[in-house]
Structures are given as structure tokens and as C-alpha cells.
Amino acid sequence: MGEANRDTARAAAPVLHDRVLDTLGLEITSGQHTPGAALTLERLQQRFGVSRTVMREVMRILEALNLVQSRRRVGLVVQPPAGWRVLDPRVIRWRLDGPGRADQLRTLTELRIAVEPLAAANAARHATTADRDRLSALAARMRQLGEAGELEAFLDVDVEFHALLLRGCRNEMFTALTDVIAEVLAGRTEHGLMPRPPRPLALDLHDRVAGCVAAGDAKGAEAAMRELVEEVREAISATASCGAGVR
């Protein structure tokens, strides 16, 4: 019985860890704990009913993300947004789940506008034949799923499409943003800011990007991707202004 209890405890630890981490991460990034506020392990342990080990690990991660800073005799002090690791997927997810979602989507979409057109151009120059073929297949699958209104499956293919572009561009700085772009795409769908079905123009532009990359047309790929991400910005702005997905 003792061994079974230990196995159960080990299995429950990651669940407790994730629950506490997500709760505190969301609270800090949404402003419930203001910069300068002090958090103590003892109070947090009591609040969440977890072991000191679990609580220490959670706070270690939050400190690594620059959301808190350990100070002797004070505890863990909440840090201002200017110091956060804003490109970490966890921070992005928490901010998208909070009241500042519209601003977070705006800034992340502007990042996409700055990066993805150049990534598409470089993919047209450097992608392998297999990558070009796969990109075309993904664009075709996106059209099929998009026209059917199957947004969950569409999202998976959309994420793979953009990840493949970022890998295929052969720029490790851009490739490092793969998880960031995935979180943006997922957040847009999960928060009701993705049209159902996707706009025909968006599907056409994915086709055009894939076609230009396959043909080695760097200028065409850059122009099509710029139009695509600009279309995303306009769609998010229009949907948000109607109140969709706002809690």
C-alpha cells in the first residue's frame, strides 16, 4: 500500500506543479500581483496545498522567466513587465489568457509581420525539395479543412505550415521563434478570433506562399506572406472590435 501511495504521489506531482505554475503565471501577467508585491513560499504552500518542493520548483521557473525575483528577508518580488521573458511560450499563453489579450495579439502579429515575410523569401531560396513539396501539401490540406470549418484540425496544419517555413528559411534566429508563432496561432483559435470558416483570401495566400516557395520565387514568397500576415492583423482587429473572444 505504501508503494502504491508513493506512485500516486509521483504521478500527481506534475499535475500539481502545472496547475500552480499556470495559476500564478496568469495572475502575475494579468496584473493581479502588481510589480513590487512580495510572495512567500509559506503562504503559497498553504494556498495551494502543495509541498515545499513543488512550490520551490514553480517559483524557480517563474524566476527564470523574470516574473519574480528572490530577495533575502523579503521573499519573491513580482517584477515589472519590461523585464519578463516575453517570447517564452508560457508567458505568451498566460498573457493571451488574460485581460491584455488584444494588446498581446497586436504585438505578436507585428512581430510576425517583421519576421515571416523574410522567412518566406529565404525559404524560397534555401528550402529542400522535400520541404517545398510538403509546404504545398500543407497548403492544400489547409484549404480542405478550412472550407469544411474544421478549425481544430486546421490549426494543427497551420502550425506545421508556418513552422516548416521558419525551419526552411535556414536562419536560426527566425527558427527560434517557431514556438512563439505556434502559440499565436493557437491563441487566436482558442479565443474565438479565428473566422469559421477561414477567410478565402487567407487560404489563397497560403497557396500563393507555398507556390512561390516551390518555384524559388523569393520576392513573390515575401510579398504573399506579407499580405497574409497583414490580413491576419486586419482580421484580428475586426473580430476583436466586435467583442468576440473577450472575457
CATH, domain 2-83, list 3.40.50.880, 1.10.10.10, 1.10.3470.10, 1.20.1740.10: 1.10.10.10
Residue 234: count other Cβ atoms within 10 Å of its Cβ: 13
Domain with CATH 1.20.120.530 in the chain: 89-241
> How many residues does the structure list for the chain?
247
How far is CA 14 from each of CA 17, 46, 58, rounded to the nearest angstrom? 5, 18, 11
Domain 89-241 has CATH 3.30.1050.10: no
Domain with CATH 1.10.10.10 in the chain: 2-83
List, for residues 70-110, the tens digit of each pLDDT value.
988 888 999 999 999 999 999 999 999 999 888 898 899 99
| pLDDT for 194 | 78
- Nearest one of 144, 163, 147, 153 to 199, comparing CA atoms: 147
- The pair phi, psi for residue 120, each rounded to 5°, is -65, -40
List, for residues 18-53, the tens digit of each pLDDT value.
899 999 999 999 999 999 999 999 999 999 999 999
- Nearest one of 115, 108, 106, 247 to 190, comparing CA atoms: 247
Question: Do 51 and 58 form a contact (C-beta atoms < 8 A)?
Answer: no
CA distance linking residue 152 with residue 37, whole number of Å: 39
| pLDDT for 246 | 37
